[in-house]
Chains A and B, each alone.
Chain A
Amino acid sequence: MLGYVLRRLAAMVPVLIGVTFLIFALVHALPGDPIAAMAGNRPLSPSTVAALRQQYHLDESLWTQYWYYMTGLAHGDLGTDFHGRPVSELIAERWPVTFNLALTAWVMKIVIGIGVGVYGALRRGRLGDHLALGFTVLFIALPGFVFAFIAQLVFGVNLQLFPIAGIADGWPMSFLLPALVIALETAAPLARLTRSSLVEVLRSDFIRTARAKGAAPARVVWGHAMRNSMIPVVTYLGLSLATLLGGAVIVESVFNLPGVGGLMVQAIQTQEGSVVVGVATFIILVYLLVNLVVDLCYGLIDPRVRRV
């Protein structure tokens, strides 16, 4: 087990190198001059520009810059923004918001997605099945911000159940509405996956065995089919949590939540390449680690892949 974890951690290194380099190169290729963006409208003397360029290694080649970054990263340094603040500090400030939002949205998504999927599988081909699936597809088709505005209007302004924006009320009140928006938007693939997986499991021989034992329908579904049908779903749920932890840009901005997604957008707008790369690196690390945890959880559900 420990050996497996260590091997998996080691395998992350090349992935991390590859992906950070890709982002690094993309940021490097962005049009525009970061120094000019930093100065805003003020004119800068050529000597100041040159000094700044040198300070931020902008006069060096891509390879050299990447080397500097990776050396820093190896020491746990994600770089600094143009004001000298460490990127890790910026992330630490915003991480609790993203974490709370992501986890709340994820749990809601599981409840809605698996609920709809199971309902559809058990009533497959009937009206309820089609309605439930149609409902989830509706939320995919609706642009995220439209739905977010509607939610704000209905639950925030008219019903006054939740705050409209901001995090003044803390968790859970400030997070429930944006989390619900994210959950509904992303529940459809989960519902479909759950439905098809459960339908397939319900056709398998061991379900017939359970029925031949005289098990009541509820026991057949919950005692035998559910856990088996969750095997492919768990993989998807892991990826989904990892994606949510990377920040939800649109929902964060509509609900004015200062999360990691907003930090990233802001950094791209102000052309602060170091922040973009630092935040991206952090998100990738979270993604890889969440995936590892999910793979380890696999064995809990499916004894066939259990590692002793």
Chain B
Amino acid sequence: MNLANRAKSTVDTASPASPPSSSALLEVTDLRVDFHTRAGRVHAVDGVSFSVAAGETLAVLGESGSGKSVTAQAIMGILDSPPAEIVGGSVLLEGRDLLTLPAAQRRAARGSEIALVFQDSLSALNPVQPVARQIAELYRIHRGMGRSEAWRRAVEMMDRVRIPAAASRAHDYPHQFSGGMRQRIVIAMALALDPKVVIADEPTTALDVTVQAQILDLLAEQQRERDMGLILITHDLGVAAQVATNAVVMYAGRIVERSRVRDLFLDPVHPYSHGLVASIPRDLPRGSALPAIPGMPPSLTARPGGCQFHPRCPLAQPRCRTDEPPLLPVKDGRESACHFWTKVGER
């Protein structure tokens, strides 16, 4: 598929994955989010840093519960608090810290400068409003347009994300669309005001594989046209490989590896990344078990000491139970949070 080829070719020319730099469009530094639960305070996001430049696609990889979506919502400022609380870090959008902006200014940025594409398009859209009205709302809130003008722009946007017969479908309600078309509407909503950064939170998880490819294609194309920064949150390495250049791998609220997507595939430097790559289904003899990472991600309320991954890690040593490895540069501008990263993939 041409998209995958494109992704590969850009990998070669892109700058190596790097920690936050000053040229970044969006720069997340040491973001920490706690949840107040009955069992006490838990760290859902525990010191996450990454950055995205204009035109860059960053994949945020990890299992469910690893803190990916919470990170996205913290950046957007739409976490429910309580129970969530942002306890530290900064989110700089072109140098402005979104976390310290007054509420009204923060709202003004939300949806217009930085936008979110949700996972489940059926529940993410208001069931009792026509779709065009939901897209038009962005023009009404942020551009102060009148009803008819905003509607016209919304229909244009629907056309732009290639919804057939957009003008006549504008009056339809979300439940009258197929999953793929609905996801296009959600994307149209996110792109309506030409945001600088788009965060796509599992944008294709609820879709058929063929539709997935179309939606990724659309996202990649729109990103190229508008030179946006795109953060693609996914648990699907295949999806990441199709569109992203750089990747961070999250585990239990922390980043455990930072690499270019291609390097991550060929030569992971963290045993968890290695497990993820190894568990992609490939050509296996019929009847053989699919490889999987044994065990479950830790519950936020019962964290293991030391390295969060050690109970599931094939390389675990006594040291891993007590010493938490920091995320450090290892080679080729890549970073790993593993004491024994050189042994990853040996076995």
Binding site for B on A (CB under 8 A): 203-206, 208-216, 219, 223-224, 227-228, 301-304
Within the complex, the shortest CB–CB distance from A3 to chain B, in Å, comes to 21
Asked if B120 is an interface residue, CB under 8 A from chain A, the answer is: yes
Bound-complex Cα distance A204 to B127 (A): 11
Contact A206 B127 (CB under 8 A): yes
**Contact A214-B127, Cβ < 8 Å, known A205-B118, A304-B173, A304-B175:** no
**Inter-chain contacts of B250 with A (CB < 8 A):** none
Contact A212 B173 (CB under 8 A): no
**Inter-chain contacts of A210 with B (CB < 8 A):** 126, 137
Contact B76 A212 (CB under 8 A): yes
Within the complex, the shortest CB–CB distance from B315 to chain A, in Å, comes to 39
Contact A213 B111 (CB under 8 A): yes
Asked if B108 is an interface residue, CB under 8 A from chain A, the answer is: yes
**Contact A205-B128, Cβ < 8 Å, known A212-B111, A213-B138, A213-B141:** no
Seed contacts A208-B78, A228-B127; 11 additional CB < 8 Å A-B pairs: A205-B123, A206-B126, A206-B127, A212-B116, A213-B110, A213-B111, A214-B109, A214-B112, A215-B137, A219-B141, A304-B175
Which residue on A lies nearest to B175, using beta carbons? A304
Asked if B189 is an interface residue, CB under 8 A from chain A, the answer is: yes
**Inter-chain contacts of A227 with B (CB < 8 A):** 128
**Inter-chain contacts of A219 with B (CB < 8 A):** 141
Task: Sample 28 A-B pairs with CB under 8 A, ordered by A number.
Answer: A203-B80, A205-B123, A206-B123, A206-B125, A206-B126, A206-B127, A210-B126, A211-B78, A211-B110, A212-B78, A212-B115, A212-B116, A212-B118, A213-B110, A214-B107, A214-B108, A214-B109, A214-B112, A214-B138, A215-B111, A216-B107, A224-B129, A227-B128, A228-B128, A301-B128, A303-B173, A304-B127, A304-B173
Bound-complex Cα distance A223 to B134 (A): 11
**Contact A302-B78, Cβ < 8 Å, known A214-B142, A215-B141:** no
Asked if B124 is an interface residue, CB under 8 A from chain A, the answer is: yes
Bound-complex Cα distance A302 to B112 (A): 29
Which residue on B lies nearest to A300, using beta carbons? B128
Binding site for A on B (CB under 8 A): 73, 76, 78, 80, 107-112, 115-116, 118, 120, 123-129, 134, 137-138, 141-142, 173, 175, 186, 189
Contact of B137 among A203, A213, A301 (CB under 8 A): A213
**Inter-chain contacts of A302 with B (CB < 8 A):** 127-128
Bound-complex Cα distance A303 to B109 (A): 32
Contact B109 A213 (CB under 8 A): no
Bound-complex Cα distance A302 to B142 (A): 28
* In the complex, the 7 A-B pairs of residues with the closest C-beta atoms, listed nearest first: A214-B111, A214-B110, A205-B123, A213-B111, A303-B173, A206-B126, A211-B78
Bound-complex Cα distance A18 to B106 (A): 62
Which residue on A lies nearest to B199, using beta carbons? A212
**Inter-chain contacts of B128 with A (CB < 8 A):** 227-228, 301-303
Which residue on B lies nearest to A207, using beta carbons? B126
Which residue on A lies nearest to B135, using beta carbons? A213
Which residue on A lies nearest to B173, using beta carbons? A303
Bound-complex Cα distance A210 to B107 (A): 11
Q: Which of B76, B78, B108, B109 has the most CB of A within 10 A?
A: B78
Within the complex, the shortest CB–CB distance from B229 to chain A, in Å, comes to 17
Contact A228 B126 (CB under 8 A): yes
**Contact A209-B141, Cβ < 8 Å, known A214-B107, A303-B173:** no
**Inter-chain contacts of A216 with B (CB < 8 A):** 107, 141
Q: Which of B123, B126, B141 has the most CB of A within 10 A?
A: B126
Bound-complex Cα distance A204 to B115 (A): 18
Q: Which of B128, B134, B189 has the most CB of A within 10 A?
A: B128
**Inter-chain contacts of A211 with B (CB < 8 A):** 78, 110
**Inter-chain contacts of A223 with B (CB < 8 A):** 137
Within the complex, the shortest CB–CB distance from B301 to chain A, in Å, comes to 22
Within the complex, the shortest CB–CB distance from A28 to chain B, in Å, comes to 49
**Inter-chain contacts of A204 with B (CB < 8 A):** 123
Which residue on B lies nearest to A216, using beta carbons? B107
Within the complex, the shortest CB–CB distance from A305 to chain B, in Å, comes to 10
Bound-complex Cα distance A302 to B126 (A): 11
